[in-house]
């Protein structure tokens, strides 16, 4: 495994981040434990979760032996894995998130000082740990002033409950707003931004990536395979191995020519489509670690090859031809 610093910090994280969103609703606990054990065996030290993860995203009964889904379920699974000992917690850079609705009761969501305090303490209990390495705001909260947010985060940091603060789904100007507010308080501010970013969806190249570079944030791309479309979807559909449904089906139909060209190019490279998609992200400015969200141990193993795949300039240019990106704003739309 290869490592990098997370943004401008001295914190070393693996170039792949293990996403846990499937743990519970789609991946049962013993399999989740096996994936996390294997992750540490292979040197993956960066794990990402969220307080809202655990609500079922699949039809009831898909995971044998599980009767109920609820927000917090995934953190509970990770916590029980930590509780086994064996330096599991000590060897993990643990990231979780705050913002989403945990209940329908007022103040059980968003980024008020009250919810940040309560949500952090609840995550610590579920995760069976006394601190969180990276506490991420899951979305921008336009209704809470930055002074309130940063004061709440400062208190948690002074208490030793969190070490670093990150964002997720922020616009470039939100990052600037957050950092300038933190700077005025002599606070470290954001060290990472978790964004939707992959070969198909490259909108963050206009402003989010430049902002992250300027302020020293490590970018953590989520959905690096765009819901499986970059994982060989066209080929699997032809072979009857995968049935695209809903939004994935619509996107595949709209992008079929691009996806098929991409898969053909992957064949030329002698690499699997998901490996190429992840390897491409590792070449992008400010990117620290794409989030891989395996449902099975086999999916985890297939992602590891990306760290060792070097894409030369010619290959990168060809990928840009297939999936055109964006220039930095304002040059993307003006002179």
Q: Which residues contact 184 (CB under 8 A, 6 or more apart)?
A: none
| CA terminus-to-terminus distance, the chain | 42
What is the spatial distance between Cα 223 and Cα 166, in angstroms, rounded to a whole number? 18
What is the spatial distance between Cα 108 and Cα 63, in angstroms, rounded to a whole number? 28
Q: Which residues contact 137 (CB under 8 A, 6 or more apart)?
A: 97, 98, 99, 111, 149, 165, 166, 167, 168, 170
53 is catalytic: yes
SS3 97: strand
Q: Encoding tokens for residue 281?
A: 């992200």
Neighbours of 84 (CB within 10 A): 11
Given 53, 99, 135, 215, the catalytic residue = 53
Neighbours of 2 (CB within 10 A): 11
Q: What is the DSSP string of 140-178?
A: --TTS-HHHHHHHHHHHHHTTSEEEEEEES--HHHHHHH
Sheet holding 93-98, edge to edge: 218-222, 190-196, 162-168, 132-137, 93-98, 46-48, 17-19, 291-292
Neighbours of 327 (CB within 10 A): 10
**Considering only CA atoms, which of 104, 224, 219, 88 is closest in space to residue 166?**
219
What is the spatial distance between Cα 278 and Cα 26, in angstroms, rounded to a whole number? 22
Dihedral class, residue 61 (left if φ above 0, else alpha if ψ from -120 to 50, else beta): left
SS3 78: helix
Q: Would you please indicate which residues are annotated as catalytic (active-site) residues?
A: 53
């Amino acid at each position: 495994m290869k490592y990098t610093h997370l943004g401008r910090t001295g914190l070393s994280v693996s170039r792949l981040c293990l996403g846990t969103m499937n743990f519970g609703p789609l991946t049962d606990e013993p399999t989740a434990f096996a994936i996390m054990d294997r992750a540490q065996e292979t040197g993956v030290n960066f794990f990402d979760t969220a307080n809202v993860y655990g609500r079922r995203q699949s039809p009831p009964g898909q995971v044998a032996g599980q009767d109920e889904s609820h927000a917090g379920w995934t953190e509970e699974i990770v916590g029980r894995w930590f509780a086994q000992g064996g330096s599991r917690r000590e060897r993990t850079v643990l990231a979780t998130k705050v913002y989403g609705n945990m209940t329908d009761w007022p103040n059980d969501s968003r980024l008020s000082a009250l919810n940040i305090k309560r949500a952090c303490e609840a995550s610590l209990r579920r995760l069976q740990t006394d601190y969180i390495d990276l506490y991420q705001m899951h979305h921008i909260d336009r209704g809470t002033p930055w002074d309130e947010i940063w004061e709440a985060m400062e208190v948690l940091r002074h208490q030793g409950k969190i070490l670093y603060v990150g964002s997720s789904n922020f616009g470039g100007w939100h990052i600037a707003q957050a950092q300038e507010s933190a700077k005025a308080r002599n606070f470290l501010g954001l060290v990472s931004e978790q964004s939707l970013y992959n070969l198909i969806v490259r909108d963050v190249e206009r402003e989010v990536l430049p902002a992250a570079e300027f302020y020293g944030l490590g970018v953590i791309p989520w959905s690096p395979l765009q819901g499986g479309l970059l994982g060989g979807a066209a080929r699997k559909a032809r072979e009857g191995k995968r049935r695209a449904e809903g939004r994935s089906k619509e996107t595949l139909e709209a992008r079929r020519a691009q996806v098929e060209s991409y898969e053909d190019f992957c064949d030329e490279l002698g690499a699997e489509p998901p490996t190429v998609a992840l390897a491409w992200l590792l070449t992008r400015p400010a990117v620290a670690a794409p989030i891989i969200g395996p449902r099975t141990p086999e999916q985890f193993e297939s992602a590891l090859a990306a760290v060792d795949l070097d894409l030369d300039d010619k290959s990168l240019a060809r990928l840009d031809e297939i999936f055109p990106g964006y220039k930095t704003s304002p040059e993307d739309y003006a002179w």
